Chain A
Amino acid sequence: MLRFTIHRILHVIPTLIAISIISFFIIQLPPGDFLTTQIASLEAQGESLDPAQLEALRVRYGIGEPFWVQYWKWISNIVLHGDFGLSFQYQRPVGGLISERLGLTVLLGLTTLVLTWAIALPAGVISAIRQHSAADYTISVLGFVALAVPNFLAALALAYIGFRFFGQSVGGLFSPEYVNAPWSLDRVLDLFGHLWIPVVVIALAGTAGIIRTTRANMLDELHKPYVTTARAKGLPEGRIIRKYPLRIALNPFVSTAGWNIPQIFDGEVIVATVLALGTTGPLLLGALRSQDMYLAGGIILIVAVLTVVGTFISDLLLAAVDPRVRFGKA
């Protein structure tokens, strides 16, 4: 297992380097550089920048120098100093911008993830065990409806319901009076009062896929001879299902479990934008629209790195739960 882990880590490192180069390449694509854009906008406002400061920024980001030099300055600052550069739009360090939104983003992501699975997994299993029953059809129809309704539409509808019937403020994760208030029990309750809309919208939309996959996997496994063997031992039905077919039906999910990590971080851009949530999603969208290259690049890089790391974790998890992978037989 140790060798396996080391082996995988050795695979991860070149992937990470390649990914960072691609991320930087993408944020470099728009014409011009952010300093010229910034100077132009400052001059438009009738202000001017201290030439010494300008020169310092030039050296700091290697502007005007070849791609590789700029890339090296960008990535070495991130790796060595945790410095993601400066957001041109906010005039603040990118690291700070992201980290202040990180808490809410992760909270939203995790609650969504947990709710999705809490609904989808039992639904998928029931759907498979009672194939062609009323329960199966109901679950399938509801899952497809949730999948088919666009997220932003559902978000708007729920926000309207929240506003019309519960008197909640529309948009954001806090009522106006709590936005800048210090943390208190009331503020937490207010947060959860707002959080349920995006969580329900995103979670329900995600269930359909998992329900269908679980159902299909379970239907494959339920008729395998080892299930009959388990039954012939005298095991109770519930335990048979949990211990044998479900265990194997979960493998495809385990092997993609790591992909949920970047999803937790990127905070569902569309829904978050529609509901004006203070997560990283709208931040990324804004950065891309205003060519805020270091902010966009930072977020893209983090998401990409999390994807690689997530895949790595998935590989380890799969080896841990499936002996066939561990012993190289599958």
Chain B
Amino acid sequence: MLRSRRRRRMAPVRAPRELAAVAVPAEELSEPDAILDVQNLRTTFRTDAGVVHAVDDVSLTVRRGRTTCIVGESGSGKSATARSIIQVVDNPGLVEGGRILFRADPDGPVHDLAALSATGDGIRSVRGGQIGLVFQEPMSALSPVHTIGNQIAEVLQLHTDLDPKAIRERVIAELEAVGIPRAAERVDSYTFQLSGGMRQRAMIAMALIARPALLIADEPTTALDVTTQAQILDLLAELKRELSMTMVFITHDLGVVAEIADDVVVMRHGKVLETGPVDQIFHDPQHLYTRELLASLPQREEAVTGAPSDEVPERVEVSDAVDTTVRHDDAAPSETPLLSIEGLRMEFESTSGTMFSRRTTSRIVAVNDVSLQIARGTTLGLVGESGCGKTTLGRCVMRAYRPTAGALHYDDGENATDLATLTTAQLRPYRRLVRMVFQDPYGSLNPRMTVREVIGEPLRVAGIAQGSELDDRVESMLERVGLRRDMASRYPHAFSGGERQRIGIARALITEPRLVVADEAVSALDVSVRTQILELLAELQDELGLTYLFISHDLSVVRKICDRVAVMYYGNLVEEGPAAAVFDDPQHGYTQALLSAVPVSDPRLRGTRPRVVYRPEEAA
């Protein structure tokens, strides 16, 4: 097919003259062992809406052989800084000032990358060859219509003289090196045929195949599950040691920083607030903002001494049956639970895979015989990796799906019924009692409706209130979620992510529900905003006596706010119990694996915990 079409070979890019023109005396580096020295960098986005100084006079030094983490919340300019280094800032961003001194070899010449033309051969010979880049979302960062082998091979065509056959062999070897099994077959697969973790491994292989001196990883694990994140972090640490390279790692997650950083740069609003070795940042932070960030971290144990080690944690394999549920307390609850899920099962028919064989429909069991109880006024955390069925379970509770089997006994003292069997018409009164808060504060608000319409709609649809009474209730609800009354007539685009999530919460609570299903409600928010929203949810729970089903992949959040925790794995409930019991004394192998993958938020504890790897056992 088209993929086997022969292409004219690209000539490797070399630009000694252009690089020589931007050479700088080595004395101008602020530290002699620096591989990268960013001096007074300014990157500006000029848009119709105005000028944004994404990177505002940033200076930072990356020392050879170390891992430098740039930490900051969204909009802090951390990504723009990283991209400015090799001049791949998104349009209309421009590097407007400053110097980027880069020294590929320890004793080699120093070049000012900022002085190179953004499209010239000079910078092109550095990109990919001497500085590799790994992005956040491997699905969108790789082309969907080219095989991964094709995309990785390009780097070698550009930066080596190897012939096509040798290139292919190197690509396969590199895929093996990053831990992709059956690399010789996978080299010809497309991104959508690989799992998220495999895609990110392929991306890392692409960034490293030309053996760059510096690897820039821009949130490489943010889009991944916690267990996959642990694997990728271990892989990066291993590769860094084997290839003796330097890494710049950009993240918003301080846990990850504690796990891998040697040096830390804290950024906010395009400026560097604090820099220092990881131990100092975590144990003796100077800037107030750094302290705030650290305070948002869960359960930091004090009084640990000792320097951070470079050890990759040891691996322990465990296995347990998937279809057994570990329950920490068998005692029957004293009162009737608000929601009692019994033997819930949800199957999807899937016209599987290809267009070539439409007729093979397979059945996917998304939720397999799950039984759970949620007591009134409590919070049940539902955790698990993507694809484990936790969202499906939440949607069954909402009756967005009709469960294949099982019961959903709802009893708030006034109304009691089995939600699982009701028809759409019968469900209507319960629609206002069971409400949902969504994950994406951007996608879940209609941009063409004002906040008043968005929040008031459930009331209007249910025929509960209208006219000035409706406006009154909407405005008092706005105040309750920490917004101002006069914001009601604005449109969603005028709000930040955190404010939008408050609007989403107001929309859920306007009908005075009893049960709120929060599906990853804080996952898309920055750390500091996340803390505020969690506090708001807790306040509202106390005031209104709400019951939460809190679905999240973020274990630290669940631990902080949930009374009980349920762990799901491929549709099965594997462990359930009080939060403290599950987190401190996990019984099921999968729960142990999941917990061991969470980064420890103290660099001094690095490498002290074994990494548990779970292998499901054949069902007995």
Chain A interface residues (CB < 8 Å from chain B)? 1-4, 7, 222-226, 228-237, 239, 243-244, 247-248, 319-329
Query: CB < 8 Å: which of A237, A320, A322, A327 contacts B353?
Result: A327
Q: Are A233 and B141 in touch, CB under 8 angstroms?
A: no
Q: Is A226 within 8 A of B141, CB to CB?
A: yes
Partner of A223, one of B86, B91, B203: B91
Instruction: Contact check, A234 vs B129: say whether CB atoms are below 8 A apart.
Output: yes
Residues of B in contact with A, size category = 35 or more
Q: Known A322-B145, A325-B355; judge A224-B124 contact (CB<8 A).
A: no
Q: Which residues of B contact A247 (CB under 8 A)?
A: 143, 145-146
B354 at the interface (CB under 8 A from A): yes
- CB B203 to nearest CB in A, in angstroms, measures 8
CA distance A287 to B154 in the complex (A): 58
Q: Decide: B10 and A229 in contact? CB cutoff 8 A.
A: no
Q: A226-B142, A320-B1, A327-B193 are in contact. Are A234 and B126 (CB under 8 A)?
A: yes
Which has the most chain B C-beta neighbours within 10 Å: A7, A239, A327?
A: A327
Tell whether A7 pairs with B358 under 8 Å between CB atoms, given A228-B83, A232-B86, A327-B190. yes
Q: Residues of B contacting A224 with CB < 8 Å?
A: 140
B133 near A232 (CB under 8 angstroms)? Answer: yes
Chain A residue nearest to B152 (CB atoms) is A233
Given A225-B135, A225-B141, A235-B158, 4 more A-B residue pairs with CB atoms under 8 Å apart are A223-B91, A228-B90, A326-B355, A327-B354
Contact call A233/B155, Cβ cutoff below 8 A = yes
Listed in ascending order, the chain B residues whose CB lies under 8 Å from chain A are 1-2, 10, 13, 83, 86, 88, 90-91, 119, 123-129, 132-133, 135-137, 140-147, 151, 154-155, 158-159, 190, 192-193, 203, 206, 353-358
Among A3, A232, A323, the most chain B Cβ lie within 10 Å of the Cβ of A232
- A229-B355 contact, Cβ under 8 Å, with A235-B158, A320-B2, A327-B193: no
How near does chain B come to A301, taking the closest CB pair, in angstroms? 29
B121 to chain A, nearest CB (A): 8
Q: Bound state CA distance, A145 and B206, in angstroms?
A: 46
Instruction: Give the chain B neighbours of A231 by CB distance below 8 A.
Output: 88, 127
Which residue of chain B lies nearest to A325 when distances are taken between CB atoms in the complex?
B355
16 A-B interface contacts by CB (under 8 A):
A223-B91, A226-B140, A226-B142, A232-B128, A233-B155, A234-B128, A234-B129, A235-B158, A236-B124, A244-B146, A248-B144, A320-B2, A323-B147, A324-B144, A326-B354, A327-B193
Contact of A323 among B10, B136, B190, B356 (CB under 8 A): B190
Closest Cβ of chain B to A326, distance in Å, is 8
- Tell me how far the C-beta of A229 lies from the nearest C-beta in chain B, rounded to whole angstroms: 5
A329: nearest residue on chain B (CB-CB)?
A: B192
Residues of B within 8 A of A322 (CB): 145
Chain A min CB distance to B206 (Å): 7
Contacts of A1 in B (CB 8 A): 356
Could you say which residues of chain A place their CB within 8 Å of the CB of B86? 232
B146 — which chain A residues lie within 8 A by C-beta?
243-244, 247
B-side contacts of A234, CB under 8 Å: 13, 123-129, 155, 158-159
**Residues of chain A with a CB closer than 8 A to B128's CB:** 232-234
For B354, the chain A residues whose CB sits under 8 A away are 4, 326-328
Question: A225, B127: Cβ atoms under 8 Å?
Answer: no
Contact A228–B127 (Cβ < 8 Å): no
Contact partner of B356 (CB less than 8 A), chosen from A7, A223, A235, A248, is: A7
Q: Which residues of B contact A244 (CB under 8 A)?
A: 143, 146
Once bound together, how far apart are the Cα atoms of A162 and B88, in whole Å? 51
Cα(A321)–Cα(B358), bound, Å? 20
Cβ distance A196 to chain B, nearest Cβ, rounded Å: 34
Shortest Cβ-Cβ A-B pairs, 8 listed: A233-B128, A234-B127, A3-B356, A234-B128, A232-B133, A234-B124, A225-B141, A328-B354
Q: How far is the CA of A324 from the CA of B126 in the complex (A)?
A: 33
CB closest chain-B residue, reference A245:
B143
A321, B1: Cα distance in complex, Å = 8
Cα–Cα distance between A322 and B355 once the two chains are bound (Å): 13
A79 CB to closest chain B CB, in angstroms?
Answer: 29
Do residues B140 and A237 form an inter-chain contact, with CB atoms below 8 A?
no
Q: Do A323 and B144 have beta carbons less than 8 Å apart?
A: yes
Q: Are A4 and B355 in contact (CB under 8 A)?
A: yes
What B residues does A226 contact at CB under 8 A? 140-144
CB distance from A178 to the nearest CB of B (A): 43
B83, B91, B136, B143: most-surrounded residue (chain A CB, <10 A) = B143
Partner pick for A233 among B83, B140, B144, B158, CB 8 A cutoff: B158
* Complex alpha-carbon distance, A325 and B135, angstroms: 26
Residue on B nearest A229 in the bound complex, by CB = B141
A247 to B5, CA, bound (A): 14
Q: Are A233 and B1 in contact (CB under 8 A)?
A: no
A299 to B135, CA, bound (A): 55
Q: Give the nearest-CB partner of B353 in chain A.
A: A328
Once the chains bind, are A228 and B145 in contact (CB under 8 Å)? Answer: no
Least CB distance from A234 to B in Å reads 4
Residue from the set B83, B128, B137, B355 with the largest chain A CB neighbour count within 10 Å:
B355
Say whether A233 contacts B127, CB under 8 Å.
yes
User: In the assembly, what is the distance between CA of A226 and CA of B192, in Å?
Assistant: 14
Q: Which chain A positions have C-beta within 8 A of B192? A: 324, 327, 329
Residues of chain B within 8 A (CB-CB) of A323 are: 144-145, 147, 190
Cα separation A134 to B132 with both chains bound (whole Å): 36
Minimum C-beta distance from B524 to chain A (A)? 18
A7 CA / B125 CA spacing, docked (Å): 48
Residues of B within 8 A of A229 (CB): 133, 135, 141-143, 151, 203, 206
Bound together, the chains give a CA A55 to CA B353 distance in angstroms of: 59
- Cβ–Cβ < 8 Å partners of B136 in chain A: 225
| A230 neighbours in B (Cβ, 8 Å) | 143, 154
Cβ of B536 to closest chain A Cβ, rounded Å: 33
